Amino acid sequence: MHLKLLQEKRRSLHDFVEGASSNTYLLVLSFAPLFALGTWKTRVSAPMRIGNLIVMVVLLAGALATWLYKRSEKRLDRVDLNLRDFQRLLLQFIDRSIAFFKGIKFWFAPLLFFGISLAAYPALNHFWSQSLCIVALALVFLCFECSVWMCDLGRVRELERRKIEIESLLEEMDGSK
C-alpha cells in the first residue's frame, strides 16, 4: 500500500516536470511561424524570403530532432534493470548521442546561421557595401560555428570515453577480460 501511495505522488511530480521541459519546444515552435510570416511578407526580396524559409524549416527540424533525442534519453529512467541490461541501454544511448552530435547538430547551426544571414543581408546592404556585408557575416559565422563545434567536440569526447568504460565493464562481465 505504501508503495502505491509513493507511486501516485511520483506520477504527479513527473507530470509537472514534463510540462516544464515541453515549454522549450513551445518556445521554438512559436518562432517558426514568425519566420513563416516573414517568408510571406518579404515576397519582393528573394534572399530574405529564402532566408526566412530556411530558418523556419531548420527550427522545425531542430525541434523534432531534439524531441526524438529527449525521448531516447527518457529510456535511461529504467535504472531498475539489472546491471548488464542497464549498461547495454547506456551504450545504445551513447551511440545515439554521438550520432546526434556528430551528424544532426553539426549541420543545425550553420544552416540556421545561413538562413539568418540570407534574411538579414538585404537590410545590412543598405548600410554597408556588398563585400563588407559578406566579410562581416562570414566572420560572425566562423566565430559562431567554431564555438558550437568546440562545445560539441568536448561533449563527443566525453561520450566516447564513457563508451569505452561501459564496453570494458561489459567485457568484464562476459568474462572476456
Partner 1 sequence: MERQDLLQEIALAVWTALPNFRGQASERTWVYRIAHNVAITFSARQKRRDGVEQPFDAIAPDPAIKDNSPRVVLIDAIQQLKPVDQQLALLYLEGLSGTEISEVTGLTTDNIGVRLNRLKRSLASGLDRKGTADERTSGSR
User: Which DSSP state fits 120?
Assistant: H
C-alpha cell of 174?
562476459
78 binds partner 1 (CB under 8 A): yes
The span from the CA of 47 to the CA of 70, in Å, is: 34
How many Cα atoms within 13 Å fall on the side-chain side of residue 155?
16
C-alpha cell of 123?
537590410
Interacting residue with partner 1 among 1, 20, 80, 131 (CB under 8 A): 80
Interacting residue with partner 1 among 79, 126, 127, 176 (CB under 8 A): 79
Name the residue nearer to partner 1 (CB basis): 39 or 97.
97
In the block, residue with C-alpha cell 558550437: 148
The DSSP secondary structure of 71-136, one letter per residue, reads HHHHGGG-TTS-HHHHHHHHHHHHHHHHHIIIIIHHHHHHHHHHHHHHHHHHHHHTTS-HHHHHHH
Name the residue nearer to partner 1 (CB basis): 72 or 125.
72
Q: Applying CB under 8 A, which part among 104-112, 122-130, 142-150, 161-169 lies near partner 1? A: 161-169
Name the residue nearer to partner 1 (CB basis): 23 or 82.
82
Interacting residue with partner 1 among 29, 83, 146, 153 (CB under 8 A): 83
Q: Applying CB under 8 A, which part among 2-10, 19-27, 99-107, 112-120 lies near partner 1? A: 2-10
In the block, residue with C-alpha cell 543581408: 121
3 binds partner 1 (CB under 8 A): yes
Name the residue nearer to partner 1 (CB basis): 65 or 89.
89
How many Cα atoms within 13 Å fall on the side-chain side of residue 57?
11
Q: Which residues bind partner 1 (CB under 8 A)?
A: 3, 6-7, 10-11, 14, 77-87, 90, 158, 161-162, 165, 169, 172-173, 175, 177
